[in-house]
A and B are shown apart, each in its own frame.
Chain A
Amino acid sequence: MKVKNFLLPQFKDKFENFLFIVPAVAIFSVFYIYPFFDIFRLSLHEWNGISPYREFVGLANFKELMQDKVWWDSIRNAGFITLVALTFQNALALALALACDREIRLKRFYRVVFFIPPVLSEIVVGLIWQWILYAGKQNGEYIGLLNYFLYKSGLPHLVNNWLSNPDTVLACIAIVHSWKGFGWGFIMLLAGLQTIDRQLYEAAKVDGAGSWNIFRNVTMPMMLPVIVVVMILTILGSMQVFVLILSMVGQGLVYHTEVPVTRILLSMTGTNQFGYACAQGVVFGMLLVAVSFALKKLSNKMKQES
């Protein structure tokens, strides 16, 4: 009786508390857990997305994927965009964050301006850049802003068919993607810089350290966790780029602008191979998880060493 009296209120308490997290758990289960397992299940089937019949094919979709040259080329293309983002985008973000961390005029204005590109719609950004990189002429004048300025600046040899040239199209997409994305890195790096105790900088200056030494020995070690997070988010975001590609080059230029997500989209809606699309999704997801884990391990190692 005493035990019962003790347990019942505790159980009631826990049950009531549990009831409050049920909506969040339900939503998470429905939109994340269930689809996660269902995609694995579908990847073992051949299905056109509509038919009531799904044929179990085991690992055939994965086998086909391993031999799909275009798929691996698409991963390489996404890797190129990610590399440009990791270097150019994040270097720019860090440089601007360092600049805005100082006491400069219009600091707040710059913070707002630098954060505008990330909040713009990717479709709008893609369409605007498509117009800027437009190769056509009217009445002898270049219509696209870039070619117009190159021509007027006495650099006609640099005029190019930017989005229809296989040598330049992917680089253009990577640069536009970096332009759009640097604002996120900028905000996170700036926030990281502002958490560094100013006394550390003062102590370093008292010890006679120059700007470069301060940056190398104070700023970078303190910023390492933030930089790793920014890198992981950059990789995850850049590897999944596709909206910008669709708005800049439509269904792409041959296979030069194919990335994993566009291949998955093609499998789903173009060739109606839902099972194959799920297999692509599983492999792609595992790749991203592996890269994230590797980066985290590397950062832990670097933290220990520093």
Chain B
Amino acid sequence: MKKFSVVVLCAFLFFGCAQKKQDENKIVIWHWMTDRQKAFEVLAEKYKEQTGITVVFELYALSDIYSQKIIAAAQAKVLPDIFGILDKKSIIASFIESGFVVDLSEEFHKDNNAWLNDLFPKALAVNQFEEGNPYNIKAGIYGVPIDVTNIQMLYNRKLLKKAGIDAPPNTMEEFFKATDALNRIGIPGLVSGWGELWMVDCFASNYAFNIMGEEKIMDTFRGKFPYTDPDWIKVFTVFKDLKEKNALAEGIVTKSNKFAEQDFALERAAFAFNGSWCVNVYHEMNPNLDYGAMLPPSVNADLPMKIWGGAGSSFVVNAGSAVQDKSIAFLKWLTAKDQQVFLAETTKNLPSNKQALASIPPVLADFAKAMDNTTHRMIWALNEDPLVVDVFDRGLQAIMIGEKTPEEVAQEVQQVKERQMEKSKR
């Protein structure tokens, strides 16, 4: 009996550790988009009917958790056939350098750039590495955008009307007049998920572009301009003014975006700062919400207001996948007009395929109009050191809770910047 048990145990150990052979008619996709799982499953069913290939969409929300899962999977070399990389360009570069991501340039240029021409250039730009990029990655297109997005301000028409405001504000002065009028009738001004630091960073960078322009921002990242420069103090002062003029909803500094979306949808605030994905979210929370999209009110009439936008969600193909060609074929199908129209109609996200734009709801059209104003950290010449960004974002929080002045935060950020630059020289 003992010998038999030993044999069974050895067999268990051997077969338990053996690797499973991958099904060649199955594609596994990991994603984070909670609002799209059902739509993806419908498309997967349709694809199976057309081609006989099973596509499995596995959802891992929230996006933070998803990012960590992807990194862990990459370290363990168990990435799925298709996945997304929700991280800085330098990390995407590392994924490419480590051989985890397929260069899709050849596919995009096939048949006289057929696939390339179907998609918005700004969406593709986010997935591209240009010649001479600072990451030493071979120039090419490495990801497929499945939608486009931008992050703007939203305004509640009904609440603005209640406060006697006929049109959304264009300048910061008009915005403060509006929030003043709203506060007098007990309606909070701006709500956003600034408990997620990337959102407050996004808002700040919009104003950095408006106040000093792209070149000076990039030069600051290069170390040519300090964060104590008067233009950066102006950026920090925007947040000080927002706090002092009571333009912000209570608790905005630690609010998650989900709660902020709820606040705006349930008309607890007149303005929101959110991405175009909110259209689907607000529709589910309050289908009768009457709102529009607007650019953040500018502080400098001489420079344009730039907003974050471009590819919303993108997928890359695992270079180690046994079904690479089939995965690429699926992504081509997913970004084709019919599928993009379906996704735009069911999930209310902006399509990445130009031909699908005609089918979008009116409020999404508001978002689409602002695509010319978009920029994205993934297309900037370089990005700031992430530790500097963290200190910057927390400094903005400190200004909004009245703990620090813009000048104090500028000093702190500059100190960390200098330390990081010294470290990188070593």
Q: Compute how far the CA of A269 lies from the CA of B387 in the bound complex, rounded to whole angstroms.
A: 11
- Can you list, as one digit per residue, whether each of B258-274 has a CB less than 8 Å from chain A (1) or not (0)? 01000100111000000
- Cβ 8 A contact of A130, one of B3, B97, B259, B267: B259
Chain B, Cβ-Cβ closest to A249: B254
A:13-58 near B, CB below 8 Å: 16, 19-20, 22-23, 26, 48-52
Q: A16-B2, A19-B9, A254-B397 are in contact. Are A272 and B254 (CB under 8 A)?
A: no
Check A251 against B197 for contact (C-beta < 8 Å): yes
Q: For chain A residues 215-249, which have a beta carbon within 8 Å of chain B?
A: 248-249
The stretch that binds B, out of A79-87, A162-170, A287-295, A298-306, is A162-170
Say if the beta carbon of B242 comes within 8 Å of chain A. Answer: no
> Which residues of chain A come closer than 8 Å to B401, judged between CB atoms?
164-166, 253-254
Q: Is B256 an interface residue (CB 8 A)?
A: yes
Contact status B394-A255, CB under 8 Å: yes
Is B98 interfacial (CB-CB < 8 Å)?
yes
Contact indicator A272/B90 (Cβ below 8 Å): yes
Contact yes or no, B91 A50, CB < 8 A: yes
Does A140 touch B at the CB level, under 8 Å?
Answer: yes
Tell me if A269 and B250 are in contact (CB < 8 A). no
Is B268 a contact of A252 with CB atoms below 8 Å? no
Please, how many angstroms separate the alpha-carbon atoms of A250 and B71 in the complex? 21
Once the chains bind, are A164 and B253 in contact (CB under 8 Å)? yes
Q: Does A266 contact B (CB under 8 A)?
A: yes
Q: Which of the residues A49, A161, A252, A270 comes within 8 Å of B386, measured between beta carbons?
A: A270
Establish whether residues A272 and B9, one from each chain, have CB atoms under 8 Å apart when the complex forms. no
* Proximity bits, B324-365, A CB within 8 Å = 1, else 0: 000000000000000000000000000000000000000000
On whether the beta carbons of A48 and B397 are closer than 8 Å, the reply is: no
Kindly list chain A residues whose C-beta atoms are within 8 Å of the C-beta of B397. 253-254
With contacts A49-B71, A51-B98, A253-B401 taken as known, whether A136 is within 8 angstroms of B268 at the C-beta atoms is: yes
Q: Is the CB of A161 within 8 A of B387?
A: no
Give the nearest-CB partner of A257 in chain B.
Answer: B254
A interface SS class: loop
Q: Flag if B13 contacts A251 (CB, 8 Å).
A: no
* Other-chain contact of A166, B268, B390, B403 (Cβ < 8 Å): B403
Contact with A along B385-421 (1 / 0, CB 8 A): 1110010001001100101000000000000000000
How does the 8 Å CB contact mask read for B163-198 relative to A, with 1 for contact and 0 for none? 000000000000000000000001010000101110
CB atoms of B97 and A52 under 8 A apart: yes
Name the distance in Å between A239's Cβ and chain B's nearest Cβ: 21
Known contacts being A19-B10, A50-B91, A269-B68, is A135 close to B186, with CB within 8 Å? no
CB-contacts of B92-151 with A (<8 A): 94-95, 97-98, 100
Q: Most A CB atoms within 10 A — which of B9, B90, B249, B255?
A: B255
Kindly list chain A residues whose C-beta atoms are within 8 Å of the C-beta of B403.
166, 254
Quick one: which of B67, B75, B186 contacts A269, CB cutoff 8 A? B67
Number of residue pairs spanning A and B whose beta carbons lie under 8 angstroms apart: 111
Instruction: Determine how close the nearest CB of chain B comes to the CB of A256; give it in whole angstroms.
Output: 9
Q: Tell me whether B283 is interfacial, beta carbon within 8 Å.
A: no
CA distance A291 to B42 in the complex (A): 55
Partner of A250, one of B10, B196, B249, B386: B196
Check: A121 CB closer than 8 A to any chain B CB: no
Whether B64 is near chain A, meaning CB under 8 Å from some CB there, is: yes
Contacts of A204 in B (CB 8 A): none
A304–B344 CA distance with the chains assembled, in angstroms? 73
Is A107 positioned at the interface, with any CB of B under 8 Å from its CB? no
Bound complex: CA A26 to CA B385 (Å): 40
Q: What distance in Å separates the Cβ of B400 from its nearest Cβ neighbour in chain A?
A: 9
Determine the chain B residues whose CB is within 8 A of the CB of A253 once the complex forms.
Answer: 253-254, 397, 401
Pairwise interchain contact A271-B98, C-beta atoms closer than 8 A: no
Nearest A residue to B248, CB-CB: A164
Whether A139 sits at the interface, judged by CB under 8 Å, is: yes
| Shortest CB distance B135–A (Å) | 11
Distance of B410 from chain A, by nearest CB (Å): 15
Chain A min CB distance to B142 (Å): 14
Residue from A163, A165, A270 in contact with B390 in the complex, judged by beta carbons closer than 8 Å: A270
Q: For B13, what are the chain A residues with a Cβ–Cβ distance below 8 Å? A: 22-23, 26
Bound complex: CA A135 to CA B6 (Å):
63
A143 at the interface (CB under 8 A from B): yes
Q: How far is the CB of B384 from chain A (nearest CB, A)?
A: 11
Question: Is A114 among interface residues, defined by CB-CB distance under 8 A?
Answer: no
Contact A250 B88 (CB under 8 A): no
B residues less than 8 Å from A184 (CB atoms): none
Per-residue CB contact flags for chain A residues 63-95 toward chain B (1 = under 8 Å, else 0) read 000000000000000000000000000000000
Nearest A residue (CB) for B191: A136
Q: Given A51-B97, A136-B268, A163-B254, does the pair A271, B386 have CB atoms closer than 8 Å?
A: yes
The reply to whether B195 and A250 contact each other, CB–CB distance below 8 Å, is: yes
B87, B250, B254, B267 pick with most chain A CB within 10 angstroms: B254
6 shortest interchain CB distances as A-B pairs: A250-B195, A50-B94, A271-B386, A135-B250, A249-B254, A51-B94
12 chain-A/chain-B pairs, Cβ below 8 angstroms: A16-B6, A19-B9, A49-B71, A49-B91, A52-B98, A134-B251, A136-B250, A143-B268, A161-B251, A164-B252, A250-B193, A272-B386
Question: Which B residues contact A (CB, under 8 angstroms)?
Answer: 2-3, 5-6, 9-10, 13, 64, 67-68, 71, 74-75, 87-88, 90-91, 94-95, 97-98, 100, 186, 188, 193, 195-197, 249-256, 259, 263, 266-268, 385-387, 390, 394, 397-398, 401, 403
Known pairs A136-B188, A270-B386 / 12 extra A-B pairs, C-beta < 8 Å: A19-B10, A135-B250, A137-B186, A137-B268, A161-B251, A164-B252, A166-B403, A251-B195, A252-B254, A255-B394, A266-B390, A269-B64
